[in-house]
Chain A
Amino acid sequence: MPQHADRTALPAFRTEGLTKTYGTGAAAVHALRGVDLDLPAGELVVLLGPSGSGKSTLLNILGGLDRASSGVAHFRDLELTAMSDRALTRYRRAHIGFVFQFYNLMPSLTAEENVELVTEISETPMDPAHALDLVGLGSRRHHFPAQLSGGEQQRVAIARAIAKQPDVLFCDEPTGALDSATGRAVLSVLRDVNDRLGTTILMVTHAAATAAMAHRVIHFADGAIRDTELNASRLSPEEIEW
């Protein structure tokens, strides 16, 4: 049994036969070809796989950003695949945080204001300044995105994602645009969030080495899960070789 099994009673996510097809006929692209998955809460899960293997698509569907073509996806007892747009909006608002590869900060808002953008509509928000402290950017909270380095922008994005104290944090290539040192710093923030706040984290990445810090590693190929492995011992981000 993995060491964290005591943290949770319910699985966080469960899917059955999840598919996603873009386009129709000859031009149809099958991004997901039937994914069955059971993810316990509180884990740091890494989704690995080449471009186009379907991992981001799965993340988007579980995050309520996109809809499946067929199959069922549950978050706890919520059936995501049956929910209306309005309900999905409520779901994202209440439970989910996102970190994107290109940070997606609002250029016209400062670091702190970008965080407030989320705490504003959250039911159990953290103090935005505290969220920025957690990612080590307390002193830069009045800077605009253009005044921050890439790594700093990504840490703001993480602060923004965790400030609402989400149940799940989705990270799509969070280090994809960063150099290794900065990438490590970002990863250790994520690890920290998982350890200290108990937030379930689903992270999509190209960087296979990142898998060493996860509880669980899911390998994707051609729109399906090829393999799932559980790490008996996890490396800290500082120990990861890039």
Chain B
Amino acid sequence: MVSPAHLLSPLDRKLLRDLWRIKGQAAAIATVIGLGVLMLVMMTGLVNTLDETRAAYYDRYRLADVFAPVERASDRMLERLAEIPGVRAVEGRVTGQALIDVEGEIIPVRARAVSLPASGAARLNDIFLAAGRMPGPGRDEEVLLLKGFADARGLRPGDRLSATMNGARHSFRVTGLAQSPEFLYTTAPGEIVPDDARFAVIWMNREGLGAAYDLEGAFNEALIALETGANEAAVIDAVDRILKPRGGLGAFGLVDLPSNFFISEEIRGGRKNAVFVPPIFLGVSAFLLYIVVNRIVQAEREEIGLLKAFGYSDTEVSVHYLKLMLTIALVGAAAGALGGIAAGRAMAGLYQEYYKFPFLVFELDPKSFVTGFATSVIAACAGGFGVLRGVFRLAPAEAMRPPAPADFSGTGRMGALARRLLDQPGRMVLRRLERQPGRMFGAAIGIAAGMALSVGMIGVQAGFARAIELSFTVLDRSDAQVTFTHAMSDKVIYELGRVPGILEVEPIRVAPVVFRHDFHEHRGAINGQSAEARLARAMDSEQRPLSLPEEGMVLSSTLAGILDAAPGDRITAEIREGRRPVLEIPVVAVADALMGSPAYMDIDALDRALKEPGRVSGAYLRIDSDQAGNIFRAVRDMPGVAGIALKADMRESIQTMMDSGMGAMRFIMLGIAGIVTFGIVYNAARIAYAERARDLASLRVIGFSRAEAAFVLLGELGLIALIALPLGAAGGFGMAALISAAFSTEVYSIPLMFDAQSVATAAVAVLVAAAVSGWLVKRDLDRIELVSALKTRE
């Protein structure tokens, strides 16, 4: 009988036992490369999943391709819209603004009321009934409530709801909770940040809603589905032409649907992130793998010579070490891939809840596996074969001899000062550094790469905090923002100023607009503000307030990027309200806005351009917080007020968005960066120990104490770490720039934060990792058996 062990060749058994011998280090390497692969598989899988899920959700619930709001059009117009070439389906509906009273809140919550089709399922923009039942036919007091809002406010089917529509108060009963691909994100008009608790959607029967808004037999929004390959722009033009006499407000495509815009930005941000960040991690991991495999094979030099002496060919020896390297690399990559799938799945589950998808289409990116495995294999092979080639060049007789003592003679001329200051162990450390700068530098670069990763990730955390801090305390110093239902006379500003407790009022005129420059187009808004605004300010990159000139427009850097515009360029602005003029406005400056992608104009200049002088659509307030309750009651009762948003609430919701959406990835990445950094430092320590074990044992034999021998090893490690610090800081600057750019979207931009604190934190992390690693190898050093260490290579 042959025992199972004999099924393996002796070389393979050597391989297994060698792996077992270096298990700690092998695990550290596999972990590092695995984390690189994990990140790649997870990020791409997550982004793919979100993208696919969104597409499937839109498809299954027949989300319209074009939305055409209109003041009032009779249902007959739908037939004309249906005749437009390229249109597959049309549906008319009634929608309107509403205010919902919420218990415990002085200010009612803004809501959008949407009609349900008279009979049967909706042809377009269907809804997913998450709980309860649909409103009964003819039951105009029954409504469905958006699930996100209901959850945020603790409302359930069966609860009653009081809402103001078109000036009249209605009492409703919630029969069910609904989700809709149209309202994945809900944002109150005039605000940039989605917040479940502060904006609601209610669905009710068409007749009831039509009656509430005086739209019986008519619609005020057409939903249009396109045929595959249809020209959306042409359809939108045709729709606008047909609806213009009925008060068409400008049809727009799905791209400009606010909810879709936010989710698209999240996915786009995630994709950008997945393209840039995981490769950095993978690259750092691969570099480490390269260095470590290189050193491991170098340590095998004598064994390689011996195998050659027995008559093993170069190919046979290479295959043996290839197996060793690939086992580590592939086990790491496989673990990373499996971990990536698991992590991607877990994260997708969290995101499913956050983005409110009723289902999930989990979809991995096969390319990420190929990239991950290929990178691991190539790095391991490159690291191994470089050394093997060198060893094969030696005659076996030479390879088998322990390498001749490295020639340190060139380092003899140490300065007199160094000689006076350094004892023998100190000189050993320094000479080694001087004699083998390549090795030391390689280790230092490895640690620096790990540190740069940490600097970058810590910098990004600081960038997120800075984005919020700047936006809400420097750029915008108001406490609250009032929005009007429509542009009103600026007399309302004086009325607001007379409310006791309101310390300062600043008008704003927001005009929805489509910007065009060259081939670039962006649907956004122009913020008309006071020329010398004190509360909500446009600022340059040095945080100096920009005064708004009488002519021209200041673009946020994000918008300037989207439109590829610079000061001096002229931008076409098609205003989408009122008389809908088309303006040519020069860009006069670029401001550093971190939230959204606004454009600023002097409010008077904007009103003049709109031919609506003295109009405001909202106001920024600075208030005495002790009188907040009274102020809100007074403002609520003023005519034309659509809502009031507290800066603190907005700040909280953007924080939530950054911490729960794609931005949440930064925490995971920071954790992984930390582990990778530690793994690299630990490996450097292990290698240093393996290469010096003999020397260290010799030192102990001739009478050095454990501490003195440890000094030689740890001094070397410490010195490498110190060399790595400035390199890591410099690399960290690039990483921080790359990673913060990867996290920035049109919704928020993350400023590059490369501050002393990020660098110091990462430096401390590297030093702590070095200390812990040093302590781990020192334990081995203390246990070393002196005689056997001198005899064998272990």
A residues with a Cβ closer than 8 A to B are 60, 63-67, 85-86, 89-94, 96, 98, 100, 104, 106-109, 113-114, 116-118, 120-121, 145-146
Contact = CB atoms under 8 A, between A and B. Distances in A.
B13 interface: yes
A65 B13 contact: no
Nearest to A144: B17
A89 B311 contact: yes
A113 B10 contact: yes
A96 B312 CA distance: 12
Contacts of B624: none
A65 B303 CA distance: 14
Interface string B300-333: 0011001111111110100000000000000000
Nearest to A90: B311
Interface in B360-411: 392, 395-398, 400
Contacts of B227: none
Nearest to B313: A89
Contact of A108 (B17, B306, B788): B17
B316 A121 contact: yes
A103 to B, nearest CB: 10
Top 3 nearest A-B pairs by Cβ distance? Answer: A93-B311, A108-B17, A65-B397
A218 B253 CA distance: 97
Contacts of B392: 85
A102 to B, nearest CB: 8
A106 B400 CA distance: 12
Given A106-B303, A113-B10, A65 B396 contact: yes
B309 A117 contact: no
A121 B312 contact: yes
Contacts of B10: 109, 113-114, 116-117, 120
12 contacts: A66-B397, A86-B313, A89-B313, A92-B308, A92-B309, A92-B311, A106-B306, A108-B17, A117-B10, A117-B307, A120-B9, A146-B788
B14 interface: yes
Contacts of A114: 10
Contacts of A109: 10, 13-14, 17
Nearest to A102: B791
Contacts of B400: 65, 100, 104
Contacts of A65: 309, 395-397, 400
Interface string B553-595: 0000000000000000000000000000000000000000000
A106 B306 CA distance: 9
Contacts of A121: 310-312, 316
A96 B398 contact: no
B18 interface: yes
B794 interface: yes
B302 A107 contact: no
Nearest to B399: A65
Contact of A66 (B17, B21, B395, B793): B395
Contacts of B307: 117
Contacts of A92: 308-311, 396
Contacts of A66: 395-398
Interface string B2-32: 0000000111011001100100000000000
A66 B396 CA distance: 7
Contacts of A120: 9-11
Which one of B21, B307, B310 has the highest number of Cβ atoms from chain A below 10 Å of its Cβ? Answer: B310
Contacts of B13: 108-109, 113
A92 B313 CA distance: 10
A98 B792 CA distance: 19
A228 to B, nearest CB: 24
B396 to A, nearest CB: 4
Which one of B9, B17, B311, B316 has the highest number of Cβ atoms from chain A below 10 Å of its Cβ? Answer: B311
Nearest to A96: B311
A121 B10 CA distance: 11
Given A65-B395, A65-B397, A66-B395, A89 B308 contact: yes
Nearest to A166: B311
Contact of B11 (A86, A93, A107, A117): A117
Contacts of B17: 108-109
A183 to B, nearest CB: 18
A108 B11 contact: no
Which one of B307, B392, B395, B793 has the highest number of Cβ atoms from chain A below 10 Å of its Cβ? Answer: B395
Nearest to B311: A93
Nearest to A161: B310
Interface in B498-547: none
A118 B307 CA distance: 9
B395 A89 contact: no
A3 B785 CA distance: 50
Contacts of A63: 309, 397
Given A65-B309, A65-B395, A89 B314 contact: yes
Contacts of B302: 104
Interface in B268-310: 302-303, 306-310
Contacts of A64: 396
B793 A107 contact: yes
A46 B10 CA distance: 32
A85 B794 CA distance: 30
Nearest to A122: B311
A146 B11 CA distance: 18
Contact of A117 (B21, B310, B793): B310
A117 B396 CA distance: 17
A107 B792 CA distance: 8
A145 B788 CA distance: 12
Given A89-B314, A92-B311, A116-B10, 17 more contacts: A63-B397, A65-B309, A66-B395, A66-B397, A66-B398, A86-B314, A93-B311, A93-B312, A108-B21, A109-B10, A109-B13, A109-B17, A113-B10, A116-B9, A117-B11, A120-B10, A146-B788
A116 B10 CA distance: 6
A118 B303 contact: no
A146 B785 CA distance: 12
Nearest to A61: B397
A146 B312 CA distance: 24
A4 B125 CA distance: 104
Interface in B340-374: none
B310 A118 contact: yes
Contacts of A86: 313-314
A65 B310 CA distance: 10
A63 B563 CA distance: 75
A86 B315 CA distance: 10
A133 to B, nearest CB: 18
B18 to A, nearest CB: 5
A67 B397 CA distance: 9
Contacts of A116: 9-10
A100 B17 CA distance: 23
B10 to A, nearest CB: 4
Which one of B302, B400, B788 has the highest number of Cβ atoms from chain A below 10 Å of its Cβ? Answer: B400
A42 B639 CA distance: 118
Contacts of A89: 308, 311-314
A89 B400 CA distance: 15
A86 B308 CA distance: 10
A65 B9 CA distance: 25
A153 B726 CA distance: 50
Contacts of B792: 107, 145-146
